[in-house]
Every structure is written in structure tokens, then in C-alpha cells.
Amino acid sequence: MQRYRTKSSSSQNNTKKKIIPKMTSGQAKIGKLAPEFTTDAVVDSDFKTVSLSDYKGKYVVLFFYPLDLFPRKEGGLGEMKIPVLSDRNMKIARDYGVLKEDEGIAYRGLFIIDPKGILRQITINDLPVGRSVDETLRLVQAFQYTDKHGEVC
């Protein structure tokens, strides 16, 4: 079932409603346990079943990529040296609040989860805008620093 919100706009005497697709709200909340998942994945070129809990004790950067239909030299992902998760039923995207319901794809979401499984950072971008690897690494290092030293950085 698709969810929509409407926005009214009136011009002179007639009122029009614009339908705006709504993304799912999800269960992912800063400072709370990240939504658990178990799914198929490609890890080190092999198919495996993985769960978020498999990574307990480590920082996890979970990111959602909407589509990839192109080779790397044309802007696609290319070879990946990180686990690539399957989300065929869109449950993970829905639980993390990044599912674009009307198209059945995920927005460009990025989530940083600490070693205790606590969600520390959320970024959700519209489809045409990517994320910065350098900024993501900076954020992970900042969380590691504050966790170790108990100071704000």
C-alpha cells in the first residue's frame, strides 16, 4: 500500500491538491538500537547470510544505494570490497525509513552504528545527490574519539 500526503495550494477561487509521495518513517532513531536484520549478502565474493548482530563490537556504516545499472567507468559502483546486502523485499529500507514507496527503491541513506548496536548518525539524501566517503570516515573517527575519551570533538 502506498502512502501519500497531500499539500493544498489555492490559486484564486479553485483549490488544487498536489500529491507528494511519502517515504516510510521506519524504526531507526538516533541513540536507540539500530533495527536488526538478517539477509543474503555477497561477502568476499561469496554468498552468505548475514545479520547486523554479526558485526556487534564493530562500527558499521550501512548505506542504501537506489539503483546501479552502469559499469564503474560510467558512474556505477564497480567492484566492492565491502559486504553488499540484498533487500529484495525492501524490509531493511522500510525499517530504516529510506524506502521511496511510490517507486519501490531506497533513497540514498547512510547510517553509522556503534559497536553496541546504537544508531549514532543518519543521513538521507534525495536520489540525485550522493554521499561523501571522506565525511563518513570523519564522522566514524569522531564517534570513536568521543567514545574513547568522553569528550566532545
CATH code for the domain in which residue 76 is found: 3.40.30.10
- Domain span at residue 139 reads 25-149
Q: Is residue 46 part of a domain?
A: yes
- Asked, for residue 7, whether it belongs to a domain, the answer is no
The alpha carbon torsion through 125, 131, 135, 140 (nearest 10 deg) reads 80
Is 100 part of any domain?
yes
* Chain mean pLDDT for the chain: 84
Assigned domain for 1 exists = no
Task: Tell me if 14 is assigned to some domain.
Answer: no
Apex 57 CA angle, 81 and 145, nearest 5 = 90
Query: What would the pLDDT profile of 13-43 be if each residue is shown by its tens digit?
Result: 555 565 555 556 688 999 999 999 999 999 9
Structural domain includes residue 140? yes
Tally of domains in the chain: 1
Residue 9 lies in a domain: no
pLDDT reading at 86 higher than 80: yes
* Spatial distance between the Cα atoms of 118 and 121, rounded to a whole number of angstroms: 9
Report the range out of 4-8, 23-27, 137-141 with the highest average pLDDT: 137-141
| Report field, pTM of the whole predicted structure over 0.85 | no
